[in-house]
């Protein structure tokens, strides 16, 4: 929940809805010059920074795995698609990519995931990943609203979903 509050605050700031807090000496000066000014909102410059960032290498301690990831990166056309990933990392502080096999093409694809829906769980303080949970509200195959939860383990995927009411969909509530 804390992480989602930080994401929402970053989103508000990114869309020009974030308050700029001035140090006390500047606040006095601004109030004297602009007595009707109640708040100052600032548009962020994230897009300028994002357009200059580029992933130059994908690597792993194991050379064979690193080469495999590099090939998946190229096949997924991530040089073109990675702007979304970088924007999330800059804007929210977190960004998630998922490498998953594509059964139809018998290859693996990289998917950029929305940071608000992703929750990694670690085994220890060294960052050993135990599992990765992704939860969101979407639509099932019949087109009805549903809450989805996918739990990715190193050897399997567990999927859960349950129907939700249209009222919950319209309220913008998240699955907890």
| Residue 23 binned pLDDT confidence (cut-offs 50, 70, 90) | low
Is the pLDDT at 120 greater than 80, yes or no? yes
Higher pLDDT, 92 or 169: 92
Is the pLDDT at 28 greater than 80, yes or no? no
What pLDDT, on the 0 to 100 scale, is given for residue 129? 81
Cα-to-chain-centroid distance, residue 94:
6
What pLDDT, on the 0 to 100 scale, is given for residue 39? 59
Mean pLDDT, rounded, for 90-119:
80
Is the pLDDT at 16 greater than 70, yes or no? no
| Residue 20 binned pLDDT confidence (cut-offs 50, 70, 90) | low
Mean pLDDT, rounded, for 17-28:
67
| Residue 172 binned pLDDT confidence (cut-offs 50, 70, 90) | very low
Mean pLDDT, rounded, for 42-67:
68
Helix axes 2-14, 78-92, angle to 10 degrees: 110
Q: State how far the alpha carbon of 86 is from the alpha carbons of 69, 80, 92, 97, in Å.
A: 18, 11, 10, 11
What pLDDT, on the 0 to 100 scale, is given for residue 135? 87
Q: For residue 15, how many C-alpha atoms fall within 13 Å in the half-sphere facing its CB? A: 6
Quick one: tokens of 140?
A: 């099932």
| Residue 21 binned pLDDT confidence (cut-offs 50, 70, 90) | low
């Amino acid at each position: 929940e804390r992480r989602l509050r930080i994401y929402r605050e970053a989103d508000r700031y990114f869309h020009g809805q974030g308050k700029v807090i001035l140090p006390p000496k500047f606040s006095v000066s601004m109030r004297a010059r602009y007595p009707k000014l109640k708040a100052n909102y600032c548009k962020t410059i994230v897009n300028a920074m994002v357009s200059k960032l580029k992933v130059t290498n994908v690597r792993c301690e194991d050379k064979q795995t690193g080469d495999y990831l590099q090939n998946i990166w190229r096949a997924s056309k991530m040089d073109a698609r990675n702007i979304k990933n970088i924007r999330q990392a800059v804007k929210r502080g977190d960004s998630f990519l998922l490498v998953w096999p594509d059964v139809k093409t018998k290859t693996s694809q990289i998917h950029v995931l929305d940071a608000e829906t992703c929750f990694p769980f670690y085994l220890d303080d060294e960052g050993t990943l135990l599992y990765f949970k992704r939860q969101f509200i979407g639509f099932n195959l019949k087109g009805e609203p549903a809450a989805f939860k996918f739990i990715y383990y190193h050897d399997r995927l567990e999927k859960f979903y349950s129907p939700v009411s249209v009222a919950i969909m319209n309220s913008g509530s998240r699955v907890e």
